[in-house]
Amino acid sequence: MRIGIMTSGGDCPGLNAVIRGAVLNGIKSYGHEFVGFRDGWRGVKEADFFELQRSAVRGISKQGGTILGTSRTNAFEGEDGGAENIAAMLAKNNIDALIAIGGEGTLAGAQRLCEAGLPIVGVPKTIDNDLDATDYTFGFDTANQIAVEAIDRLRTTGDSHHRCMVAEVMGRHVGWIALHAGMASGAHAILIPEVSTSMDQICQWVNEAHERGRAPLVVVAEGFVPEGMEEAFSVRGLDTFGRARLGGIGEMLAPLLEERTGIETRATVLGHIQRGGVPTAFDRVLATRLGMASVDSVSEGAWGTMVALHGTKVNRIPLRAALNNLKRVPLERYNEASILFG
């Protein structure tokens, strides 16, 4: 078979390990050939691809980003979009199947194309870890590691100046990075989109830490909304799906905390640093296994499915299972962490 691979949506450490796992398993186990589409659905719609030989994936599992490039292009928009055009493009270029590596938006596009009869399998990807159908997504562990290293640094400067430090991490709809990075770095308050928390409560945690002589540390997910207040949006406007870009909650909280507690406060937005650089060993292994399994799915014609991690096993599940629910932080996980606040 001749198989196309594409990476779409926000990039994520581990994408290259998926590509390598897929290509090596495909060549060694099945004798498949591969092409790589550039920049997600844009490359698919425009037939912008190159031959992915074994040499192209040599040593790439430790590299951040994606050798294929990515974009937030919609598969159904534009004159060249939609199932008919993409099916014709695949047929014209003798491409028998497509492996779509992406988050919720990408997998939703893949699912619609599969319903129209296209031969596609999915690989879930997001640093946010918000896909319900898989226990962990690759990229999440790396994002946490980066966030913890950065927050550890914020602590030493916070300690020196006796300041309250606010670290804003990614997490549009869910607070997994905030929860894990906050717990690992010993935060005095963790604020996540799933749990509406009042300014009074946040100030109480900050004051308690300060009274013990600590420099208070608040870790907040970008999608957090303080009780009774408006969501903070970035000045960068809307993304290509028309969703407001988040970011800014840290800068919004810092002056409020300073005003109410009298403790000098600084905010740092970790932003895209969390998505850059080399993946952790955990993410490399997970991504490699998912890439290898996606080629098994293609070889068995399991169109409309994606690979997912359940416990330590990589399973095959319907794509639509990934799209039904966001994996939110359960309240008991937040309550468990909150015992450590203040």
Give me the least distance between CB of 104 and ligand F6P, in Å please: 8
Chain-centre distance for alpha carbon 301 = 27
- Written as one letter, the residue type at 123 is V
206 by DSSP, 3-state: which? Answer: helix
171 touches ligand F6P by CB under 6 A: yes
Which of 11, 48, 80, 128 is labelled catalytic?
128
Residue 172 assigned ligand-binding role: yes
Stretches 123-131, 149-157, 302-310, 315-323: which one binds ligand F6P (CB under 6 A)?
123-131
Output phi, psi for 298, to 5 deg: -60, -45
By CB under 6 A, tell whether 170 contacts ligand F6P.
Answer: yes
Piece in contact with ligand F6P (CB under 6 A), picked from 36-44, 111-119, 165-173, 300-308: 165-173
> Environment class of residue 86 by beta-carbon count within 10 Å: exposed (0-12), middle (13-18) or buried (19+)?
buried
For 35, how many CA atoms within 13 A lie in the half-sphere containing its CB?
20
Residue 159 among the catalytic residues = no
Take residue 206 and report the two structure tokens written for it. Answer: 């900050």
Our CA dihedral for 292, 26, 22, 89, rounded to 10 degrees, sits at -130
DSSP SS3 for 323: helix
Q: In what order do the strands lie in the sheet with 217-221?
A: 189-191, 217-221, 164-169, 265-269
- Footprint (CB under 6 A) of ligand F6P, residues 262-321: 275
Minimum Å gap between C-beta 169 and ligand F6P is: 9
103 is in an annotated binding site: yes
- Assigned token pair, 50: 């190159």
228: tokens are: 């009774």
Residue with the closest Cβ to ligand F6P? 170
Give the pair of three-digit tokens for residue 273. 């640093």
Q: Which of 10, 109, 182, 250 binds ligand F6P (CB under 6 A)?
A: 10
Please check if 173 is assigned to a binding site: no
User: Does 127 sit near ligand F6P (CB under 6 A)?
Assistant: yes
Using CB under 6 A as the criterion, what x/- string covers residues 211-240 for binding ligand F6P? -----------x----------------x-
Annotated binding site: 10, 72-73, 103-106, 126-128, 163, 170-172, 222, 266, 272-275
Catalytic residues: 128
Annotated binding site for ATP: 10, 72-73, 103-106
- Would you tell me which residues interact with ligand F6P (CB under 6 A)? 10, 103, 126-128, 170-172, 222, 239, 246, 275
